[in-house]
């Protein structure tokens, strides 16, 4: 349960927790009770894997660049930067006098250490691949070169130089990602894995970690040493995980949550009627998909994978299960990225009846049918929305002789299982853009990527992705190569895209500065509360 935040003799708005105790912040404090649909797995920027961690880490740490309330890139720990004429060398000037929350200076060496730690194979960072546009990063991560050989160096205490293998037009956007944040070498060396615990964690962002009670709350408090602390209006941010979306709505209505980052879609019409424009649903750069274990029989058969994909009625999922708050997906990359043309599945334009007929013929050819059912287990993380999606697919596949069983675990357990390469047939997953570029949706299917849950391994796909990287200075050629790579991924059914995301937020009218944007990122430092 939530603990008392500070000595309080004067009570302001209190938060009542079911079965718990009352919190009473002082009248002087501005407290933002921020509902989250899941518990973070870790608060180590190099152990991150989900948006639930990203929201918290974005409040605590500050990368070289960061984002404003509208998700536009702005200066962060670096106050300025220059780029070489060939687009491969970035030189950042850090803010003079910037400090960690313990008062020690933030220097260029802190970033060198963080980037080396990200690529060090001992760290086993899932997001290591994101920064492998940096010179020697792949080799360091593979263990063939030393971390010291990474193309990141401190020119002096306030100057950092990063050298890339090729021009990367979206590189500044990559640097807004939580895996690129600096970390305190002193704290990590002193506390080891416990460096992320309250009292040990040293950060350089707008907030510091005060408490973390698993499955109850994460309490962040304003960092007085943050360079822009004078403009941070929220004193305390409580991240409150509530996986049950219906329960979250009750808590929101009771005033226990000021915002929540998902909605039970079966209640969407009623929620809109009750809360009006407090309900915010709009396009979000993300893809809801099912990972399918391509390295495991019988799912190593591309025909079988394609049959399953064809048989799923995405229009029904979007309209009936998600109340038109999502759109049917036939490609991994959603539309809306300027200059890029997606590569949808070959059957995208066929009627659902024709797809099902084709799928049935494939299954019969492979020896499956009502008399010899294909057994398939779908794993999903806790959410009424994910459950309803899995149940709908279970019913859609049943007439084709596919016997589907369902396995539900909490979000932390679910993604932990996928990240550790655990056994499964099909598993629910989602990918939200880390930066506004098609590569973020394709990179996760590379052989060495930590998010390649399907174990997809295709030499042609790898070759095309490498070629796209080499063409970084030629945008049209690069997008063409990425489109070809996506076609290979879709044709080989490396994943099964199902839906394109809309974000589903509910936001109290007491909050200002919670700006809608396609990345659905809302740093607490830019939010205020009446």
Helix, strand, or coil (residue 201): coil
Is there a single domain that holds both residue 144 and residue 233? yes
Identify the H or E element spanning 19: none
Is there a single domain that holds both residue 309 and residue 208? no
Q: How far apart are CA 116 and CA 154, in angstroms?
A: 12
Q: Does some domain include residue 255?
A: no
Calculate ∠ Cα 475-476-477, nearest 5°.
95
Residue 26 pLDDT class (50, 70, 90 cuts)? low
Query: Residue 367 class from Cβ within 10 Å (0-12 exposed, 13-18 middle, 19+ buried)?
Result: exposed
- Which residues fall within 8 angstroms of residue 226, CB to CB, at 6 or more apart? 62, 204, 205, 206, 207, 232, 525
Q: Supply the pLDDT for residue 472.
A: 84
Is there a single domain that holds both residue 497 and residue 518? no
- Which residues fall within 8 angstroms of residue 10, CB to CB, at 6 or more apart? 26, 27
Instruction: Supply 447's token pair.
Output: 């052989």
402-409 and 65-67 as β-strands: parallel, antiparallel, unpaired?
unpaired
Q: How far apart are CA 509 and CA 130, in angstroms?
A: 37
Given a cut of 80, whether residue 517 has pLDDT beyond it is yes
Q: Does some domain include residue 1?
A: no
Kindly report the backbone phi and psi dihedral angles of residue 429, in degrees, each rounded to the nearest multiple of 5, phi listed first.
-150, 165
Instruction: Give the residue-averaged pLDDT of 494-513.
Output: 97
Q: Supply the pLDDT for residue 49.
A: 84
Is there a single domain that holds both residue 433 and residue 476? yes
Given a cut of 50, whether residue 19 has pLDDT beyond it is no
Identify the H or E element spanning 178: none
State the residue for tokens 């492998």: 132
Are 359 and 352 a contacting pair, CB within 8 Å? no
Q: How far apart are CA 512 and CA 528, in angstroms?
A: 5
Q: Does some domain include residue 517?
A: yes
Given a cut of 50, whether residue 6 has pLDDT beyond it is no
Is there a single domain that holds both residue 473 and residue 330? yes
Are 206 and 524 a contacting pair, CB within 8 Å? yes
The percentage of the chain sitting over the pLDDT mark of 90, rounded to a whole number, equals: 90
Tell me what the pLDDT averaged over the chain comes to. Answer: 93
Is there a single domain that holds both residue 235 and residue 314? no
Is there a single domain that holds both residue 224 and residue 289? no
Is there a single domain that holds both residue 478 and residue 512? no
Instruction: Give the residue-averaged pLDDT of 138-154.
Output: 97
Query: Residue 166 class from Cβ within 10 Å (0-12 exposed, 13-18 middle, 19+ buried)?
Result: middle
The percentage of the chain sitting over the pLDDT mark of 70, rounded to a whole number, equals: 95
Cα separations (Å) of 25 from 7, 197, 327, 511? 8, 23, 42, 18
Given a cut of 60, whether residue 14 has pLDDT beyond it is no
Given a cut of 70, whether residue 487 has pLDDT beyond it is yes
Note down the domain range covering 92: 15-242+508-529
Is there a single domain that holds both residue 434 and residue 522? no
CATH number at residue 389: 3.10.105.10
What number of other Cβ atoms are within 10 A of residue 296's Cβ? 13
Could you tell me the end-to-end alpha-carbon distance of the chain, in angstroms, rounded to an integer?
26
Q: How far apart are CA 414 and CA 407, in angstroms?
A: 10
Given a cut of 90, whether residue 18 has pLDDT beyond it is no
Region label for 2, one of left (φ > 0), alpha (ψ between -120 and 50) or beta (otherwise): beta
Q: Supply the pLDDT for residue 22.
A: 39
Residue 473 pLDDT class (50, 70, 90 cuts)? confident
Q: Does some domain include residue 274?
A: no
pLDDT tens for 188-220 read: 999 999 999 999 999 999 999 999 999 999 999
Is there a single domain that holds both residue 236 and residue 357? no
Is there a single domain that holds both residue 359 and residue 215? no
pLDDT tens for 402-461 read: 999 999 999 999 999 999 999 999 999 999 999 999 999 999 999 999 999 999 999 999
DSSP string, 235-303: SEEEEEE---HHHHHHHHHTTS-SEES---GGGHHHHHHHHGGGEEEEEEEEEEEEEE-TTSTTTT-HH
Tell me how many domains the chain contains.
2
Q: Does some domain include residue 346?
A: yes
Given a cut of 50, whether residue 16 has pLDDT beyond it is no
State the residue for tokens 């518990």: 39
pLDDT tens for 281-329 read: 998 999 999 999 999 999 999 999 999 999 999 999 999 999 999 999 9
Instruction: Give the residue-averaged pLDDT of 57-81.
Output: 97
Q: How far apart are CA 357 and CA 165, in angstroms?
A: 48
Q: Supply the pLDDT for residue 27.
A: 57
Q: Does some domain include residue 452?
A: yes
CATH number at residue 191: 3.40.190.10
Q: Which of 477, 479, 472 is nearest to 166 (CA)?
A: 472
Is there a single domain that holds both residue 490 and residue 516? no
Helix, strand, or coil (residue 5): coil
Q: Does some domain include residue 267?
A: no
Q: Does some domain include residue 5?
A: no
Least confident of 6-20, 170-184, 250-264: 6-20
Identify the H or E element spanning 486: helix 475-491
407: β partners = 379
Q: Which of 249, 231, 280 is nearest to 528 (CA)?
A: 231
Q: How far apart are CA 456 and CA 88, in angstroms?
A: 30
pLDDT tens for 449-471 read: 999 999 999 999 999 999 999 99
Instruction: Calculate Rg over the CA atoms of the chain.
Output: 23
pLDDT tens for 318-371 read: 999 999 999 999 999 999 899 999 999 999 999 999 999 999 999 999 999 988
Residue 170 pLDDT class (50, 70, 90 cuts)? very high
Q: How far apart are CA 155 and CA 362, in angstroms?
A: 61
Helix, strand, or coil (residue 489): helix
Instruction: Supply 492's token pair.
Output: 């080989």
């Amino acid at each position: 349960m939530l603990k008392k935040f500070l000595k309080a003799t004067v009570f302001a708005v209190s938060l009542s927790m079911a079965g718990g105790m009352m919190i009473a912040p002082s009248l002087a404090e501005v407290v933002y009770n921020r509902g989250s649909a899941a518990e973070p797995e870790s608060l180590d920027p190099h152990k991150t894997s989900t948006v639930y961690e990203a929201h918290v880490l974005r409040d605590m740490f500050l990368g070289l660049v960061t984002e404003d309330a509208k998700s536009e890139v702005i200066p962060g720990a670096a106050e300025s930067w220059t780029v070489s004429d060939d687009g491969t060398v970035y030189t950042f000037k850090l803010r003079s006098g910037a400090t960690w929350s313990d008062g020690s200076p933030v220097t260029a060496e802190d970033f060198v250490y963080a980037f080396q730690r990200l690529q060090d194979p001992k760290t086993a960072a899932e997001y290591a691949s994101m920064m492998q546009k940096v010179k020697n990063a792949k080799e360091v991560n593979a263990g063939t070169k030393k971390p010291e050989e990474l193309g990141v160096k401190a020119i002096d205490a306030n100057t950092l130089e990063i050298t890339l293998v090729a021009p990367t037009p979206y590189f500044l956007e990559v640097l807004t990602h939580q895996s690129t944040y600096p970390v305190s070498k002193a704290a990590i060396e002193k506390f080891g894995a416990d460096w992320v615990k309250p009292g040990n964690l040293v950060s350089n962002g707008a907030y510091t970690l005060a408490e973390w009670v698993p499955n109850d709350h994460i309490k962040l408090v304003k960092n007085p040493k943050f360079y822009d602390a004078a403009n941070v209006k929220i004193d305390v941010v409580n991240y409150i995980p509530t996986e049950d979306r219906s329960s979250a709505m009750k808590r929101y209505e009771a005033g226990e949550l000021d915002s929540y980052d998902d909605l039970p879609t079966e209640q969407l019409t009623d929620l809109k009627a009750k809360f009006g424009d407090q309900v915010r649903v709009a396009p979000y750069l993300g893809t809801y998909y099912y990972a399918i274990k391509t390295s495991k029989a019988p799912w190593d058969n591309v025909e079988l994978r394609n049959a399953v994909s064809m048989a799923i009625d995405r229009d029904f999922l979007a309209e009936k299960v998600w109340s038109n708050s999502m759109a049917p997906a036939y490609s991994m990359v959603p539309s809306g990225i300027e200059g890029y043309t997606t590569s949808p599945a070959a059957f995208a334009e066929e009627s659902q009846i024709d797809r099902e007929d084709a799928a049935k013929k494939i299954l019969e050819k492979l020896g499956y049918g009502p008399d010899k059912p294909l057994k398939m287990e779908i794993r999903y993380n806790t959410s009424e929305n994910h459950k309803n999606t899995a149940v709908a697919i279970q019913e859609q596949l049943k007439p084709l002789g596919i016997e589907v069983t369902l396995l539900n675990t909490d979000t932390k357990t679910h993604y932990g299982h996928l990240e550790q390469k655990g056994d499964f047939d099909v598993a629910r997953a989602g990918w939200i853009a880390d930066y506004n570029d098609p590569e973020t949706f394709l990179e996760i299917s590379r052989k060495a990527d930590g998010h390649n849950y399907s174990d997809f391994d295709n030499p042609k796909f790898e070759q095309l992705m490498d070629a796209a990287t080499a063409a970084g200075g030629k945008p049209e050629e690069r997008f063409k190569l990425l489109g070809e790579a996506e076609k290979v991924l879709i044709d080989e059914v490396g994943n099964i895209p199902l839906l394109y995301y809309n974000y589903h937020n509910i936001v109290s009218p007491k909050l200002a500065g919670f700006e809608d944007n396609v990345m659905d990122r809302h740093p607490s430092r830019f939010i205020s509360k009446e």
